[in-house]
Structure 1
Amino acid sequence: MSMRGQPTYHLPAGRTAHGPYALDIGPEQAGWERSSLRVVELEPGGVHTLVTGESEWIVLPLTGSCTVHISDEIFELLGRKSVFSGVSDFAYVPRDAHAQIASGAGGRFALAGAKCERRLPARYGPAPEVRVELRGSGNCSRQVNNFAAADAFDCDRLIAVEVLTPGGNWSSYPPHKHDEHHPGEESVLEEIYYFEVADGGLGYHRVSPSRPGGTDVLAEVRSGDTVLIPDGWHGPSIAPPGRTLYYLNVMAGPGEKREWLIRDHPDHRWIRDTWPSQPADPRLPLYGPEDQG
C-alpha cells in the first residue's frame, strides 16, 4: 500500500477498514500478486457473504463462533473466546464459490486468502488436529499453531500459522527472509503479519532490507495492526514484558511447490546454535490443541 507515492508497510488498526471489513488487504492494495487478509466483525445474528473469486480462503475465528455455509455443506466452528485462550477450528473455502458466515452471538473472524489455480474441496479443520509446535528456547521461545502450514493442511497456495510469544521474548528470530527462489533452500512468499497484544499494550516488529531499496520497517505494533512483507529480513517480533504477543502469518507465492523455506540473516543465524543448551520458556505452551475455548 502507499501514501503520497511512498510504500506503507505498517498499517495501524483501522487504516484498511472497508465496507464490512475492519481490515481488508488484498493483492491490489498491497501491490503484490497473491496474499490477502480480511477481518470481518459480526454483531449477534450477523451474516456475511464471502465471494471467493480467484482466491482460496480459510475462515478462522479470532473471537466467537460461527457457521460457514458453502453450497450444500455447513461447517459449525466452535471458535474461541480469544486468540490467547485456545486453538480454534476453521473452514477452508475454495475459489469460485459463495460462502455465508453467520454468528449467533457475534464475533471477529479472520479470512486468510491467496490467489490460486486449483479448486480444492471445501473442508473443516478440527482444533484437536492443529499441530502446536514450540520453537526456539530461552527468551527466543514461542508457540506456533500450524493450522494451515505447508505440511499440515492441503491448500493450493495459501500458508497460514499463528504465533504466540510470551511477554519479554523475541520471535521471528533470527531475522530471516523468503524473497528469492533457491531450490531446497528458500522460497518466494509474500507475507502479512496481523498482531494482537494481550490486555492492550504494544510490541515491536522489524523488517530490514535484503536488497538496495528493499523493505525497511521498525514498527510499534498494537492490536489490529498489520505489517506487509513483500521482501526483506523480518524479525524480531518483540513481546512487551507482561503481555503475550500474538500474530497471524498469511503467506503465498508463485513457486510450483507450496513450501515455506527460509534463509537466516548471516549475522544472526548463530543464535540457533545456542538453543540446544537452553530450556524452553516454562510458560509454554500457553495452550494445546485440546484447549478450545
Structure 2
Amino acid sequence: MSETDDQKQYVPAGSAASGPYALRIDPERAGWGYSGLRVLELEPGGSHSLAAGESEWIVLPLTGGCTVRTQGETFELRGRESVFGGVTDFAYVPRDARAQIASGAGGRFALAGAKCERRLPARYGPAPEVPVELRGSGNCSRQVNNFAAADTFACDKLIAVEVLTPGGNWSSYPPHKHDEHRPGVESELEEIYYFEIDRGGMGYHRVSPSRPGGTDVLAEVRTGDAVLIPDGWHGPSIAAPGRDMYYLNVMAGPGDKREWLIRDHPDHGWIRDTWPTQPVDPRLPLYEADAQEGPR
C-alpha cells in the first residue's frame, strides 16, 4: 500500500467523510482487499439505506440507539450514551443484503465490514453476551470488549473488538504484528484503528516497519481519527493522563481460517513476563460489566 494524497495510513477526522458518513474507509480507498469501516451520523428521525454488496457488516452504536431492518428481521439496538458509557448491543448484516438503519433520537454508528464469500444469517448481538476482558496489568492494563472476536461471534472474515485504555496507560503493547501467514503462529490481517478520546483529549499511536519500506506512523490521535495498518508492528497506543482512550479495531484477511494470531516485537515482548507480578489497574473495568481476566 503506497502512501499518496488519497491513501494515507493516518486518517484525520473529517478527511475521509462522504455523504452521511463522518468516516468512510472501504477496501478500495485503503488500497487493500478486505477490511472496511464507516461511521454513520444520523440526525433525530434520520435513516440510511445500506447496500452490503460483497461485504458482511456489523452495525455498532457509538452514541445513541437505532433500529436495523434487514432480511425480514428487525433489530432494536438500545445502544449507549457514549463509547465510555457501557457495552452495546449490535446487529450483523450479511453480504448481498440491504439494511435500513433508523434512529429516532439520532446518533453515531460504526459500520464494521469485511469483504467475504459466505452469506451468513442476519443476527442480533445482545450486550450482556459480549465478553469483556481485562488485558495486561499495571500501566499496560486495558479493557477489551470482544463483541466480534474470532471465537465469540460468527462471521466469515470480519474480526472486530473495542479497547478502552485508562488515562496514562499504554495499550496495544507490546508492539505486535499480523502481516504474514504462518500457520499456528501468525495470521495475515489488515487492520483499522478508529479512535475516540474522552472529553476532547488526545493520545498517540505508533506503527513501525516490519519489513523494508513498510508502514511507519507516529500520530497524535483525537476523536474521529483512524489509522490503517496493512503491515507493521503496531503499538503502543498511549492515553494521555486524565483522558481515557477508546479504539475500535476492525480486521480481516485472506486466510481460510478466521483467527487472530500475533507475533510480539522481539525487543518488547518481555513486558508480558512482568504482568503476573502486578495488579490490574483498579480503574478497570471503566464501566459496570461482568469483566473477567483473560489471556494476556
Q: What is the TM-score normalised by the length of structure 1?
A: 0.97
The one-letter code matched in structure 2 to 1:19 is G
What SS does the corresponding residue of 1:199 show, helix, strand or coil? helix
Instruction: Show the counterpart of 1:104.
Output: 104
Task: Tell me the distance in 2 between the aligned counterparts of 1:171 and 1:72.
Answer: 40
**What's the CA shift for 1:288?**
3.8
Is contact 1:145-1:161 (8 Å) kept?
yes
Structure 1 segments unaligned to the other structure (5+ residues): none
Cα contact 2:68–2:74 (8 A) shared by 1: yes
Question: Is the partner of 1:242 in helix, strand or coil?
Answer: coil
SS in 2 for 1:77: strand
**Partners of 1:274 and 1:72 in 2: CA distance:** 51
Residue 267 of structure 2 is matched in structure 1 by: 267
Instruction: Tell me what 1:128 maps to.
Output: 128
Secondary structure in structure 2 of the residue aligned to 1:128: helix
Distance 1:211 1:169 in 2: 28
Secondary structure of 1:276's counterpart equals helix
Aligned to 1:78: 78
> What's 1:217 paired with?
217
CA separation of 1:146/1:77 partners in 2, compared to 1, >3 Å: closer, same or farther?
same
Name the SS for the 1:284 alignment partner.
Answer: coil
User: Does the 8 Å CA contact 2:134/2:284 hold for their aligned counterparts?
Assistant: yes
Once the two structures are TM-superposed, the CA of residue 195 in structure 1 deviates from its matched residue by 0.1
Q: Distance in 2 between matches of 1:128 and 1:22?
A: 28
Which residue pairs with 2:55 in the alignment? 55
**% identity of equivalent residues:** 80
Report matched runs for 1:1-293 at 5 Å.
Answer: 4=4, 7-289=7-289
Does the Cα contact within 8 Å between 2:177 and 2:262 map onto a contact in 1?
A: yes
Q: In structure 2, what residue type is equivalent to 1:116?
A: C
TM-score (norm 2): 0.96
| Structure 1 counterpart of 2:51, one-letter code | V
Displacement of 1:201: 1.3
Instruction: State the alpha-carbon separation in 2 of the partners of residues 119 and 56 from structure 1.
Output: 8
| C-alpha distance after superposition, 1:109-147 (max 9, x if no partner) | 000000000000000000000000000000000000000
Q: Quick one: distance in 2 between partners of 1:131 and 1:168?
A: 24
Instruction: Out of 233-242 and 7-16, give the one that drifted further.
Output: 7-16
- Runs of 4+ residues deviating >4 angstroms: 1-7
Are 1:77 and 1:89, in contact at CA under 8 Å, matched by a contact in 2? yes
